[in-house]
Amino acid sequence: MRIGFLEKPKRQPLSVLLLLMFCLYLGLALITMFIFETITVWPSTGVALAAFLLCGKRIWPAIFAASLAVLLIYFFSLGQPFSMTQSLLIMLATASGNTLSAMLALYFCGRVSSLQQSFGDLLWVLKRFLPATAICGAVASVFGIGVYWLLGLSWVEHYVTGIANWSVSNMVGALIGTPLLISCFLQPGWRRMLDKVRWKYQAVFCLLLLAFFLFGPGQIWLPPGFQQPALLLMPLLFVALTANQSFIFIFQGLTFLLVWVGTTMGYGPFITGHAAETATAMQLFCGFLAAVVLIIQALLCEQRKLRKLWTSDLLSSNRKLEQRVQERTRQLSEANRQLAQLSVTDGLTQLANRRRFDEYLQAEWQRASRLQQPLGLMMLDVDWFKNYNDCYGHLQGDEALRQVGQLLRLGARRTTDLAARYGGEEFALVVPLADANYLKQQADLLRLAFASLNIAHQTSPLGRLTVSIGIAVLVPQAHETSMVLIEKADQALYLAKNNGRNQVVIAQSTPLQ
């Protein structure tokens, strides 16, 4: 199993180590400076665990060496109250306990995907971090008390009380110190962030005021009924509910510091005749506050995460809906396009149908009239087609019409030409800007091409299926309509039929060029 947090490169080990040394020295100094002859909250444990979480387990020699160095300085400053061997043993045991307890806590914290977000994970806080701090405290206390027991020192009167006291002190140290440090070290602009939340200093002011009256010299003015340490929960809860994670942990650290220093100096409701009892009560109180705050802020983080998840779910389903609407719109416009195409297409031959022919002829007629340009029309009719149908059946008749359609489509050479099925077995080709000679050539080509298909027609005098074509070309006059052109092409077709079919006739008034 991989241990520790992997998301960031190793960070500022030097500053964490310096902080560790400072806290270790502060803890030791406070034991001797003030009223306790027993251990109080031990912030260096929290710093050591934070150092492991931030820099990885390979930092352990540095943590061990830093602890040893501080103890060395401390023992020198004490002026040798113990023998050399005793001092050495105490130093080694304390440094080992400090390192090992934090390392075990690191193992217990397990692996998380993001160190920064770990304290916003309620399950991780409950299942990993809180037990890790408890284990950390227990291991450190066994080491510490074990050394005193081995040395036969009378400093610890009751070993069980001592272990409990020492455990809680380390646990509370980790509970408060670790999240505070991690949020500070992982938040690059945390000072900037503090500037932005100036209004939260009101909470700090309230905290200082409460600490002064509950755990400071102000307690003499406070009536006994008001000496309730739980009052500190008010600013803490306010901050836990309103501030961001970094500020919550800083505020929690400050609260602890005030309670710790105040009690150490002999103020506050936890002072009893017995130092160890005082320390334990104070630590339990601080631990309780820390746990409450941790749980509340983790709950809020979870809620925020859920909200984000819902929002992203909503966004993604919106996106899906939009995609479906777009797809449906595309399908609809494609269907419309096909429908529009169908409405102007002849189903049998796939040429333009009569409606399209009428529209196109009208439009071209107007254009030709405006520009005084010639407009040509070719009318094509299959010869003896009724007989063909009667002889070969309608299906075969359809097939023959399809072949006429294919040839006519080829005959519409220019993009402006329009080949259409005029009705029944009659076809038309609209040819703008055409001269009669050109149309005659095209018509002859068409007629010959169709005849060369050699589609047998027993009941036709010609023995095969043929077409007759009438051509008209006109420059539209103001008083005329496109009907004139159709009539002329139709007359020419009539002539072609009358003259024996399978031929092309140009309407009489059509000028040859």
Ligand X SMILES: Nc1nc2c(ncn2[C@@H]2O[C@H](COP(=O)(O)OP(=O)(O)OP(=O)(O)O)[C@@H](O)[C@H]2O)c(=O)[nH]1
How far apart are alpha carbons 277 and 267 in whole angstroms? 14
Report which residue's Cβ sits closest to ligand X: 397
Nearer to ligand X, 364 or 425 (CB): 425
Q: Which of 121, 346, 364, 381 binds ligand X (CB under 6 A)?
A: 381
Determine which one of 425, 426, 480, 487 is catalytic.
425
In residues, how long is the chain? 513
Q: Tell which residue, 388, 508, 377, 486, has the closest CA to residue 430.
A: 377
Nearer to ligand X, 361 or 401 (CB): 401
Nearer to ligand X, 283 or 353 (CB): 353
Catalytic, 425? Answer yes
Nearer to ligand X, 245 or 349 (CB): 349
Instruction: Please report whether residue 397 would count as binding ligand X according to CB under 6 A.
Output: yes
* Class of residue 463 by CB neighbours under 10 A (exposed 0-12, middle 13-18, buried 19+): exposed
- Smallest separation, CB 510 to ligand X (Å): 22
Read out DSSP for 315-334? HHHHHHHHHHHHHHHHHHHH
Nearer to ligand X, 167 or 502 (CB): 502
Residue pair 183/245 in contact (Cβ under 8 Å)? The answer is yes
Instruction: Please report whether residue 424 would count as binding ligand X according to CB under 6 A.
Output: yes
Residues 268-287 that bind ligand X (CB under 6 A): none
For residue 475, how many other CB atoms are within 10 A of its CB? Answer: 13
Residues 473-502 that bind ligand X (CB under 6 A): 497
In the block, residue with structure tokens 């010299």? 217
Instruction: Please report whether residue 382 would count as binding ligand X according to CB under 6 A.
Output: yes
Instruction: Please report whether residue 346 would count as binding ligand X according to CB under 6 A.
Output: no
Q: Tell which residue, 135, 180, 144, 178, has the closest CA to residue 163.
A: 144
Instruction: Please report whether residue 385 would count as binding ligand X according to CB under 6 A.
Output: yes
Q: Which of 346, 364, 383, 417 binds ligand X (CB under 6 A)?
A: 383
Q: Which of 196, 319, 386, 413 binds ligand X (CB under 6 A)?
A: 386
Instruction: Please report whether residue 394 would count as binding ligand X according to CB under 6 A.
Output: yes
Residue pair 66/17 in contact (Cβ under 8 Å)? The answer is yes
Instruction: Please report whether residue 401 would count as binding ligand X according to CB under 6 A.
Output: yes
- Smallest separation, CB 392 to ligand X (Å): 9
Instruction: Please report whether residue 443 would count as binding ligand X according to CB under 6 A.
Output: no
Q: Tell which residue, 153, 141, 152, 47, has the closest CA to residue 97.
A: 141
How far apart are alpha carbons 412 and 416 in whole angstroms? 8
Pull the structure tokens for residue 152: 């036969």
Q: Tell which residue, 67, 37, 176, 74, has the closest CA to residue 119.
A: 176
Instruction: Please report whether residue 348 would count as binding ligand X according to CB under 6 A.
Output: yes
Catalytic residues, which ones? 425
Residue ranges that bind ligand X, judged by CB under 6 A: 348, 381-387, 389, 394, 397-398, 401, 424-425, 497
